[in-house]
Chains A and B, each alone.
Chain A
């Protein structure tokens, strides 16, 4: 009897294997062709150097060595790191909390206005980023100073032009436009919560607040966690919309790591020189080495200590 079950399980296992292979083979080939083949050379660049006469040559770890000596020489690395962390910490915290609360509110309360809210909140994701940035610039740097001048008769600089408020305005902008997708996903998850669970809780007399913490949050925590993983993974790629505001010539004060990587890549390709690419590639690899363990650590920690659905 036991062997019979084992046999069947074994057979099932083989079937699973075949089925699994059928599902993943084509996408993996796609991955190999369109990712590995395309990017292999770009990643190898990290270990090469460029000379305009002779092209690329093997350089071993020299790029990484240069990188570490550059960290001490140039001030922007530290600033960019600080800004990247700031954008990540403040931006992610605020937008996660707000997106959760908004979704919860719409999910629970807005029965009639529900659709209106959903559509409006998703608006920034629909409209192209060029248009959103243009509007925000007009608002922050043109409308606000004019408004203050009319009301208080005081001449002030716009939010983006005053160096004291620039970074704040940029973080605000990123939060402001960054919600839509998150709300969509949270709402989707909340709407999937089984009504019997909610009904049962109701009999126990939950309130608006306690339902959120006891039922809703644990049940959508998977989505929260996924979005946080995405945010962590993007810490050093996020150029924080700086390109929309400053093109490739922002003042160093406002650099993020992602912005710096982006603008240097653009500059090197524009030059057709390629000489700077190896160092950039090395930097990218280094950042990946730092971030990947952090993501896995985060996954492990949330699995261990995060709210569970039980």
Chain B
């Protein structure tokens, strides 16, 4: 017995130095004042925060915030700040939070956050630390730079602000630009596909030749599946997704619906205030009968499940899954094939030794490159620069229109700004202005451009990119182009449902619950692939599920 204890203790003590030699860093600089910034430890990482922190530290290098210390050290901490924050925030060292998955408005209602109204109201050339205004710098206010809908979302009933938004995210189809060029997968101006790189391309779904980035891409569903046929004929796979993330497909459907219904109609799903005029009365194949318009309020929101966009989106999916060659059927339903597996497969399909058909498109969110960074790094280490994130070109496919008559309309993107930021209510008084200054710093053009450059996605803040455009990654350029050319539908409103049930509304699976016969389906993709449910049946099932009763039982307090 004793022997065993000794053996066990020996093994442990042998293990310890192995790992202990990794060193224990305690990188607190005692000569400076620390500002603790908590950043959500997710796909994006914190590189942009580190970059911004460095510039911020330089700005106040000579300023003393407390006795005996000069300058500031921004100490970035990574964590999964989630709903549990409500219970722990008062005990945490972190003073500023960025991109958390907690709800700022909720925490503010509980009195746990610092009021940052003056950050929104004071111009950017006002310095919170010194109290001085620099007349030579631009005097625009953050509240005029931030997107309007978000401004209203974060402003409470008394007109105070506590939270600020994180990155703008949306789902769609990511396509491999290199492959499209190499295989001439673009539509030609005069019909059919281009036959060389220099051929003139069609105008794309926005019907405008001048906006180059969508030229040659499929304008309608019809063209999209023509494209799929062409890709299949090259013995490649048109579309793929991860089997464990069916909600990505649901989110793609939500995006398609939004693009079809347009901004006003889409936003009804989040503000519950307005006239719905795309409600379907009957469906017969491709022809859709629109019924009478209805005034929508928070009590009859279930009626929106008849919106035409939803049917069109389902129609798209029905056609996509009707041909098993159009998508990676086996992996797309596999429980062992997640979103990062799909990214890896998508990226490596370029090389034949990975035994995968080359894949042209993947259902993903706009942040996917950040998640796939590790794979990019290892691929470029193995195959050279050709495979690096900076060289390989991908874009978010502007979604095709359901019918030809919609071609020419601007795209509508349904965006969600993930990751609320805020200042801890439990912050030392002498650090308050420092923290505010840091938040204000995030709103500067410089920081926004830097953010886009590093993360390749935009903040929901208006900014001028200036000369930095050229230095963006191919993906970053694509994001910027889209932002400039699309209408953004927003999920943010002060409606009670939005404020209290945000997760239900943001999280796509709940938007596609459908009752067909005795079964309720969560995922249209599963219902169609596994159970052969048609778009029409699924669409009718949406209204069968979302009845007045269901609505009442989901949102009990409206």
Contact = CB atoms under 8 A, between A and B. Distances in A.
Direct contact of A and B (CB under 8 A): yes
Interface of A: 49-53, 66, 70, 73-76, 137-138, 140-142, 145, 155, 157-158, 160-163, 245-247, 249-253, 267, 269-273, 275-276
Contacts of B86: 272
Contacts of A157: 330, 333-334
B518 interface: yes
A251 B521 contact: yes
B272 to A, nearest CB: 15
Given A49-B556, A271-B503, A137 B335 contact: yes
A252 B520 contact: yes
A263 to B, nearest CB: 11
Given A138-B336, A141-B335, A270 B83 contact: yes
B509 interface: yes
Interface residues on B, range: 35 or more
A158 B521 contact: no
Contacts of A273: 500-501
A287 B549 CA distance: 24
Contact of B335 (A73, A158, A249, A271): A158
A306 to B, nearest CB: 37
B500 A66 contact: no
Given A74-B520, A75-B520, A249-B509, A163 B501 contact: no
A155 B509 CA distance: 28
A244 to B, nearest CB: 10
B503 A161 contact: no
Nearest to A247: B244
Interface string B287-318: 00000000000000000000000000000000
A244 B414 CA distance: 30
26 contacts: A52-B499, A52-B557, A74-B520, A75-B515, A76-B520, A140-B335, A140-B336, A141-B243, A141-B336, A141-B337, A142-B337, A158-B334, A158-B335, A160-B334, A161-B334, A162-B530, A163-B526, A249-B522, A251-B522, A252-B519, A267-B503, A271-B500, A272-B83, A272-B86, A272-B500, A275-B556
Nearest to A160: B335
B557 A161 contact: no
Given A73-B549, A275-B500, A245 B522 contact: no
Contacts of B501: 271, 273, 275
Contacts of B24: none
B500 A161 contact: no
Contacts of A51: 556-557
A271 B86 CA distance: 12
A271 B496 CA distance: 13
Contacts of B333: 157-158, 161
A252 B522 contact: yes
A194 to B, nearest CB: 25
B496 A52 contact: yes
Contacts of B169: none
Contacts of A70: 553
A240 to B, nearest CB: 15
Interface string B525-549: 0100011000000000000000001
Interface in B488-517: 496, 499-504, 509, 515
B523 interface: yes
A158 B331 CA distance: 9
B65 interface: no
Contacts of A158: 330, 333-336
Contacts of B337: 141-142
Contacts of B518: 75
Contacts of B437: none
A3 to B, nearest CB: 51
A76 B522 CA distance: 12
Contacts of A140: 335-336
Nearest to A146: B330
Scoring B499, B519, B550 by chain A CB atoms within 10 A of each residue's CB, the highest score goes to B519
Nearest to A268: B503
B106 interface: yes
A200 B518 CA distance: 61
B103 interface: yes
A251 B502 contact: no
B94 interface: no
B450 interface: no
Contacts of B244: 247
Nearest to B247: A249
Nearest to B338: A137
Interface of B: 83, 86, 103, 106, 243-244, 246-247, 330, 333-337, 496, 499-504, 509, 515, 518-523, 526, 530-531, 549-550, 553, 555-557
A245 B335 contact: yes
A73 B549 CA distance: 9
Given A137-B335, A252-B520, A272-B500, 9 more contacts: A145-B330, A161-B243, A161-B333, A245-B335, A249-B246, A271-B501, A271-B504, A275-B501, A275-B557
A140 B334 CA distance: 9
Q: Give the top 9 A-B pairs by smallest Cβ distance, nearest first.
A: A141-B336, A142-B336, A160-B335, A51-B557, A161-B333, A141-B334, A137-B336, A141-B335, A272-B106
Contacts of A74: 520
Nearest to B558: A52
B531 A163 contact: yes
A252 B530 contact: no
Contacts of A272: 83, 86, 103, 106, 500
Nearest to B82: A270
Contacts of A250: 522
Contacts of B530: 162-163
Contact of A53 (B336, B502, B557): B557
B209 to A, nearest CB: 42
A270 B506 CA distance: 12
Contacts of A270: 83, 503
Contacts of A161: 243, 333-335
A250 B335 CA distance: 11
A52 B518 CA distance: 33
B327 to A, nearest CB: 14
Contacts of B103: 272
A70 B502 CA distance: 24
* Most B-side CB within 10 Å, residue of A76, A267, A270: A270
Contacts of B549: 73
B336 A269 contact: no
A157 B529 CA distance: 11
A269 B83 contact: yes
Q: Which among A247, A249, A253 has the greatest number of chain B C-beta atoms within 10 A?
A: A249
A59 to B, nearest CB: 10
A50 B520 contact: no
A157 B337 CA distance: 13
Contacts of B526: 163, 251
A119 to B, nearest CB: 14
A148 to B, nearest CB: 11
Given A52-B500, A272-B86, A275-B500, A75 B519 contact: yes
B4 to A, nearest CB: 13
B550 to A, nearest CB: 8
Contacts of B499: 52
Contacts of A73: 549-550
Contacts of B557: 50-53, 275
Contacts of A66: 553
Query: Which of B336, B550, B553, B556 gathers the greatest number of chain A CB atoms within 10 Å?
Result: B336
B105 to A, nearest CB: 9
Nearest to B554: A276
A48 B119 CA distance: 41
